[in-house]
Amino acid sequence: MYGVTPRVSIGVPVYNGESYLAEALDSLLAQTFSDFEIVVSDNASSDGTEELCRRYAAADGRMRYLRQGRNVGAARNYNVVFEESRGELFKWAAHDDVIAPTFLERTVEVMERETDVVACYPKTRYVDAAGALLRDTTEQLSVADSSVQRRVERLVDLSIAGDDVFMSIFGLFRSSALRRTQLIRAQCASDQLLLFELVLLGRLVEVPELLFLRRMHDGVSMVKNATPHAQQAWFDPDQKRRVVMPMWELWAVHREVLRASDLSSSDKRRCRWHLFRRFVRKWPALGGEIKKAAFQLFGRR
């Protein structure tokens, strides 16, 4: 199977994921669309992840198992599975989430039919550690206008309304579009930056079916790593910074991405305004980061 180039690649970055990993892998292997490979990158797990992965890889030739010699951080581990992939289409899959059997079938259909779509994703069902329903997404989350400027406005509006649109990071992407981005950067909320890069390149389309189960539990990265410094260390354990200002950095890199794009000057101005609308609503958090940074740098006076 390894010698045959698959249509779809699924990348599974994992660290100490034995509690939920088998269920996640089972859901991937049970897809009705079968022309895929699974690339697992184990970020030097210390639990039973390695043994479990090797057992699955031995049983199904569509799965490849890679093990990092040390913890390289979440950002690098997410990027490794893409760099090692071979498919025309690519999907990230978290070790603790589950997808419905028709996830690939439905999203591949859209990508084949609409060539300007760079990402396709279904609605999300949030479940708890035991798999019990928490809630379903109900709002329509496509960012599908032909105008880049209107796509930016739509993405900003959805991000102001809530975080549901960012679950599209676990959708299906065109590998060619991902290669034109910086992928997952070693900073907080880098998935949001990636979606912003992608929306400048093409349309993002939602399949109106509940095909993605997002598991919410105490071990979820943004829950387990609750502080900005902890989140930064999760993305990149080698990056040691005394001051971390994630919201300011997120805003700054959004502006950098926009500045480097090939949009017209007038479209860039309109997009900057939409970004300002989004981040000015975060002023309490932005102001709090300034105060905290000042305290970290200068201490009490």
Contact in structure between 194 and 107 (CB atoms under 8 Å): no
Q: What is the pLDDT of residue 26?
A: 98
Residue 32: phi and psi, rounded to 5, are -70, -25
Same domain, yes or no: 50 and 199:
yes
Q: How far apart are CA 293 and CA 102, in angstroms?
A: 47
Same domain, 28 and 122: yes
Query: Tens-digit pLDDT profile for the chain (301 aa)?
Result: 456 899 999 999 999 999 999 999 999 999 999 999 999 999 999 999 999 999 999 999 999 999 999 999 999 999 999 999 999 999 999 999 999 999 999 999 999 999 999 999 999 999 999 999 999 999 999 999 999 999 999 999 999 999 999 999 999 999 999 999 999 999 888 999 999 999 999 999 999 999 999 999 988 876 777 777 788 888 888 887 778 888 899 999 999 999 999 999 999 999 999 999 999 988 888 899 898 888 877 875 4
Of 186, 221, 256, the position where a domain reaches its end is 221
CATH no. for residue 163?
3.90.550.10
b/e 123-160 (16+ beta carbons within 10 angstroms → b): bbbbbeeeeeeeeebeeebbbbeeebbebbbbbbebbe
Residue 245 located in a structural domain: yes
> Which residue range is the domain that position 82 belongs to?
8-221
| In a shared domain, residues 23 and 101 | yes
143 shares its domain with 131: yes
Same domain, 140 and 275: no
Q: Is residue 300 within a helix (H) or strand (E), and if so which, with residue range?
A: none
- Indicate if 128 and 78 belong to the same structural domain: yes
> What pLDDT, on the 0 to 100 scale, is given for residue 208?
96
167 and 260 co-located in one domain: no
pLDDT on residue 301: 47
Specify whether 104 is located in the same domain as 81.
Answer: yes
109 shares a domain with 245: no
Look at residues 170, 198, 221 and tell me which one is the last residue of a structural domain. Answer: 221
